Amino acid sequence: MTATTSRARRRQFDALTTVLIGVVALMAALLAVLQADYGNASSRAAAQAARLVGDASAKIQASALGQDAALRAAQEALAVGMSGIGLGISALDAGDTTAQALGNAQTDGSKRLQTALQATIATSGQSPVDPYTAGLLKAQDDAIAAEVKLQNAAVDQASDAGARSNRAVLGLSLATLGGVLAGIAAVLKVGRPGWLTLALAWTLAAASALVGLLTVI
């Protein structure tokens, strides 16, 4: 090998090493930004999913308690009316006008009580109840289902962002290793060990770039 050829190979080697170090530095910076961005996105989505789970659970429990209370009150009002009807029938058979009047009063009271209950149910969750509690009490099944759907979407988003963040970490690790090998190749200089180390460093840099591309698509 002539001196001119040797100098040309050294210049080529040095140029490839310098370019590689620049590429690795750029890839490392980009992948670090991607990892931080997707990591934050995953945390935000996970927090949103947890909030939606708690909100939906509170709505289910509060609305169920309100509906159960209304149903029990309606049943009790209906029982008063049924008792009055039974008392009125018995009094009619026995010719007891006093008992019949009492039965009629119970029946009328039952109707009035049911009307009052319906009015109360219709205004449930209104002033002076605060807006959040009102929303819990007045929650409908379709609204709760929609909130559960949003929660599932947030979970999927957190999972996807977490996976992308992990890929960015992998790419950053490959870029770092490529940079280390580039430094070793610069120390070894021209020669079989140096060229092999440099080739391996370029391979790792290419793998890091591929991982980075897969992270964003």
Neighbours of 210 (CB within 10 A): 12
Q: What is the pLDDT of residue 177?
A: 92
Question: Looking at residue 123, what DSSP letter applies?
Answer: T
pLDDT band for 95, please (50, 70, 90 cuts).
confident
Higher pLDDT, 112 or 200: 200
Q: Which two tokens stand for residue 176?
A: 């770092």
Query: Span 143-154, mean pLDDT?
Result: 81
- Contact (Cβ atoms closer than 8 angstroms) between residue 104 and residue 88: yes
How far apart (Å, rounded) are the C-alpha atoms in residues 118 and 77? Answer: 11
Query: Span 151-161, mean pLDDT?
Result: 87
Query: Span 35-49, mean pLDDT?
Result: 89
Q: What is the pLDDT of residue 13?
A: 87
pLDDT in tens, 176-202: 999 999 989 888 888 888 889 989 999
Q: What is the pLDDT of residue 210?
A: 92
Entry field: residues in the chain: 217
Higher pLDDT, 142 or 204: 204
Q: How many domains does the chain have?
A: 1
Q: What is the pLDDT of residue 174?
A: 92
Res 34 pLDDT > 70: yes
Residue 54 is part of which domain span? 3-216
Q: What is the pLDDT of residue 90?
A: 76
- Contact (Cβ atoms closer than 8 angstroms) between residue 161 and residue 45: yes
Higher pLDDT, 73 or 25: 25
pLDDT band for 133, please (50, 70, 90 cuts).
low
Res 123 pLDDT > 70: no
Among 10-19, 64-73, 87-96, the least confident range: 64-73
Q: What is the pLDDT of residue 54?
A: 79
How far apart (Å, rounded) are the C-alpha atoms in residues 102 and 88? Answer: 7
Higher pLDDT, 95 or 214: 214
Q: What is the pLDDT of residue 207?
A: 92
Q: What is the pLDDT of residue 137?
A: 61
